[in-house]
């Protein structure tokens, strides 16, 4: 029966890879999620069998508890709270890896009769009980990366939920302090790898890792949260990979590497979408919420329009582009938006949804919202595909998006987002902007799109506004 765990590990690894591939498209995302879930179930069973823990009642209890928590999270957490939940999931993954590293280290210490705060009587014997310098290095890596991921994710959760300020928290000498912490961690890592019997080094390293997680994320503003979420997801995978080396579990190494690599790739995609480097995201303090658009300032007067008047323009339109943002999630307007699109299509218009890679508060946020409303994946168009034809579109409807359509990215060299690729909503023949007020977006940067000649503000709750437009179409058809 010893061949069963390795076989289940191989099957699980294949299912994980197929699951990740399935998540690349909205049409196969559910199947991909289910495939990965089955792979995880097999992985847990294989691990329990390989360690000799085969008491069925505990497997059932653990599976039931996890299923209940997952079910409640999926059913009760609103779509607007999904980014915060993802941040917490990343953090818990990091914490699990940290605990695995500590558990292994403590177990070896107990076997070598090392007391808390005391040095080992025989350091070489203790190092051998861990499995050598490589094992001590992986234990340190699991603790370090797991700690950074845990506290960093908690800060990200706080910024996303508004529990703490969304602005960058900066202070004099911050980079110097961070550099000193990094140097201390590196020195501690070398020391711990060679002499793991110094218990206080492990304790100090854990504390430094937890502090480093906070220091890495607090200088990052709200506008960069999608990048932070994907980066922390990568960290959680790397921590799991290190934990896999710690407990010599090949499947954990494979899955951790998969998550780590996919997270890095996604982070790179997000950075390219913002035309910025990862170093710039981590250390520039972008999204400070200063409320300024840069050096030039904004000139002009915004024009407003009522939904009843906007209807006549939409009724005559032959092509409409919907540009969703986080405001659509807050208003829970995605279902109403789909109804409006259906009414426009019934009236003879072609409707597309322009999706910016960093729209919303996490990667793929808008795709998830629209998929929830059963919007056809074929109607979703990426930024690079829609921009060349934007000047041929009769109407662009911006729903709760701000930073991803901000012309300051092209026009104002003093703007923090200058050079960032945006969706060129201003080039449409008419641009409707659905917002509650003239307030700036999540990045805290004013938007000159509001004052463009072809732009019209439609103030109010986005869902109510869209429902009013749908009502106008229904009344006209009756």
Of 403, 412, 424, 446, the active-site residue reads 403
Question: Are 77 and 85 contacting, i.e. CB atoms less than 8 angstroms apart?
Answer: yes
Burial environment of residue 15 by CB neighbours within 10 A (0 to 12, 13 to 18, 19 or more): buried
Which residue's entry shows tokens 């999630």? Answer: 329
The b/e string for 268-279 (b: 16+ C-beta within 10 A; e otherwise) is bebbebbebeee
Burial environment of residue 222 by CB neighbours within 10 A (0 to 12, 13 to 18, 19 or more): buried
Question: Are 452 and 418 contacting, i.e. CB atoms less than 8 angstroms apart?
Answer: no
| Helices of type H across 23-132 | 29-50, 56-76, 82-111, 123-130
Question: Are 212 and 343 contacting, i.e. CB atoms less than 8 angstroms apart?
Answer: no
- Alpha-carbon torsion (118, 119, 122, 127), positive or negative: positive
List the 455-459 sheet strands across, edge first: 380-382, 350-355, 319-324, 395-399, 430-435, 455-459
Return the SS3 of 107.
helix
Is residue 403 among the annotated active site residues?
yes
Nearest to 237 by CA among 138, 361, 145: 145
The CA distance from 16 to 244, in Å, is 16
The CA distance from 202 to 190, in Å, is 11
**H or E stretch including 395?**
strand 395-399
Tally of CA atoms within 13 A in the half-sphere of 62 that contains its CB: 11
The CA distance from 76 to 205, in Å, is 37
Catalytic residues: 403
């Amino acid at each position: 029966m010893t061949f069963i765990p390795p076989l289940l590990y191989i099957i699980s690894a294949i299912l994980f890879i197929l699951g990740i591939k399935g998540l690349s498209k909205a049409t196969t995302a559910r199947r991909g999620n289910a495939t990965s879930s089955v792979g995880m179930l097999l992985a847990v069973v294989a691990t329990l069998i390989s360690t000799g823990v085969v008491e069925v009642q505990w497997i059932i209890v653990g599976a039931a508890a996890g299923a209940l928590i997952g079910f409640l999270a999926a059913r009760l957490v609103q779509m607007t709270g999904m980014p915060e939940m993802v941040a917490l999931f990343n953090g818990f993954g990091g914490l699990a890896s940290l605990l695995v590293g500590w558990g292994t280290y403590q177990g070896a210490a107990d076997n070598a009769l090392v007391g808390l705060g005391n040095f080992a009587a025989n350091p070489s014997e203790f190092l051998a009980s861990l499995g050598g310098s490589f094992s001590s290095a992986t234990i340190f890596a699991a603790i370090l990366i797991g700690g950074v991921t845990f506290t960093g994710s908690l800060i990200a959760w706080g910024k996303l939920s508004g529990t703490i300020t969304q602005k960058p928290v900066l202070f004099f000498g911050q980079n110097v302090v961070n550099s000193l912490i990094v140097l201390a961690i590196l020195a501690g890592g070398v020391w711990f790898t060679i002499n793991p019997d110094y218990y206080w080094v492990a304790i100090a390293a854990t504390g430094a890792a937890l502090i480093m997680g906070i220091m890495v994320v607090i200088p990052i503003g709200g506008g960069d949260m999608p990048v932070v979420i994907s980066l922390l997801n990568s960290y959680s995978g790397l921590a799991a990979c290190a934990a896999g080396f710690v407990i010599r579990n090949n499947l954990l190494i494979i899955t951790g590497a998969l998550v780590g690599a996919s997270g890095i790739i996604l982070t790179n995609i997000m950075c390219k979408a913002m035309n910025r480097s990862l170093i710039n995201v981590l250390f520039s303090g972008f999204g400070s919420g200063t409320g300024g658009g840069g050096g030039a300032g904004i000139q002009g007067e915004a024009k407003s329009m009522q939904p009843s008047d906007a209807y006549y323009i939409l009724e005559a339109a032959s092509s409409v582009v919907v540009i969703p943002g986080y405001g659509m999630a807050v208003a829970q307007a995605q279902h109403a938006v789909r109804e409006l699109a259906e009414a426009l299509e019934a009236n003879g218009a072609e409707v597309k949804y322009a999706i910016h890679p960093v729209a919303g508060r996490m990667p793929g946020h808008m795709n998830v919202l629209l998929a929830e409303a059963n919007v056809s994946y074929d109607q979703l168009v990426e930024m690079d595909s829609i921009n060349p034809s934007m000047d041929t579109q009769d109407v662009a409807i911006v729903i709760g998006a701000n930073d991803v359509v901000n012309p300051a990215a092209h026009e104002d060299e003093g703007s923090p987002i200058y050079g960032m690729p945006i969706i060129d909503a201003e080039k449409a023949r008419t641009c409707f902007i659905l917002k509650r007020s003239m307030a700036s977006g999540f990045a805290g940067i004013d938007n000159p799109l509001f004052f463009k000649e072809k732009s019209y503000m439609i103030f109010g709750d986005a869902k109510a506004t869209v429902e009013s437009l749908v009502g106008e179409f229904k009344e006209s058809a009756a």
